[in-house]
Amino acid sequence: MELRQTTSEDQEAYGRAVMSAFHREVSAEERERYARISEPERGLAWFDDGELVAGTSVFTRRITVPGAMVDCAAVTGVGVRPTHRRRGLLTELMRRQLQDVHERGEAVAALWASEAAIYGRFGYGPAAGAAMLRARRPAARLAPPPPRGEPLRAGPAADHLEAMRPVYERERARRPGMLDRDGPWWDDRLFDPDRRRDGAQALQAVVVDDGYALYAVKPAFGWEGPTGEVHIRELVAGTPRARAELWAFLLDQDLTTTLSWMLAPVDEPLALMLSDPRAVTLEVGDALWVRVVDVGAALAARSYAATPDVVLDVADPFCPWNEGRWRLDGGGCERTRAEPDLALDAAALGAAHLGGTTLRALAAAGRVTELRTGALERASRALRSDAEPWCPEIF
């Protein structure tokens, strides 16, 4: 067995091996898509007698953390062929990958976990949630309806790309968890092959002055009449008025009875905008998992709601360079020999890094130990973000 970096020549075999772990085959359209966004030099794979049997890769992105945008290793394409599971291949892939990320100077890694039980043991923690939002028409009506503004612009999503870019950038700057979309990433966000539509129309966009939504309508009819569905891929609004205008449009699609949004932010305020709040439901779950790869650099890069002034005793056997005591104060984060105030592991630190999962909640779950009275409340308040973390895209 050989573990090595992948090359462009390995990409077809890599796709077959990783997708087999997800019981899927790679279509021609998806192969073209991955060719546009993949970075073969950031891939790692196990080879058994020359056959690629397990792999993981990274997209080079930037992620918003409280008060800053930082380099991020966006981990993707993790899989082991069914014939080679339970041999420790994934553990060694994750270990080598985090070593490589650390050597590149990326202080943070992030991923979407296909199975939530896997990545905690490698130091990742659930840092941003997402909600499955469902709304019922015609009960879901805004109260009051938004005032008439500039005319809405709507049509095929690609036709409105240039109007959406600046809106996304403004929102990305303020909300932790969002990623940059330089290079091929906007085109990838609009990727919409027929086989993924499940009977819905091609991806559409609706744009207002300070907001936009990506959506598609799936028409359907029953004996009692139309039962179409509005599927939202993304809604970004910089002002309450923009949000109201977008929702008014989406909730007023003729021939539809339901609206769904699979990756809505957990703080989406639609229910508070309706005359009947029960016409919308949100089912919340984990979304983006974060790994603090370099404790000192990661904690120094972000801002804080108040001065933390706390000594953290970090346990991180998977990345031993992070082990030990760190003083976090208004001037940065450095190693110290001082007595610790809080004890926690790398996964708990990753969960709290975007400011959504609080240290207080982690302590209640037994994941953080308060060693000095008052330190937990002070640190939890300092690490909290004003904006709830959200990542609208799975990578």
Which residues are known catalytic residues? Answer: 119, 395
Going from the C-alpha of 379 to that of each of 133, 303, 348, the distances in angstroms are 32, 13, 13
Q: Rounded distance, CA 268 to CA 255, Å?
A: 25
Contact in structure between 186 and 61 (CB atoms under 8 Å): no
Q: Is the bond preceding 308 in cis, omega lying within 30 degrees of 0?
A: no
Q: List the structure tokens of 143.
A: 């109260």
User: How many whole angstroms from its chain centre is CA 117?
Assistant: 17
* Sign of torsion over alpha carbons 321, 78, 5, 180: negative
Helices 28-37 and 11-21: crossing angle in degrees, nearest 10, is 110
Contact in structure between 80 and 90 (CB atoms under 8 Å): yes
How many CB atoms within 10 Å of residue 284?
12
Q: List the structure tokens of 151.
A: 């005319």
List, in sequence order, every beta strand (DSSP E) within the chain.
2-5, 44-48, 51-65, 68-80, 108-112, 125-136, 153-156, 204-208, 211-218, 221-222, 225-226, 228-237, 256-264, 280-292, 310-315, 324-329, 332-335, 342-345, 368-370
Q: Rounded distance, CA 252 to CA 277, Å?
A: 17
Local structure of residue 391 (DSSP, 8 states): -
How many CB atoms within 10 Å of residue 317?
10
* H helix intervals, 161-260: 161-174, 185-189, 240-250
Local structure of residue 193 (DSSP, 8 states): -
List, in sequence order, every beta strand (DSSP E) within 66-184.
68-80, 108-112, 125-136, 153-156
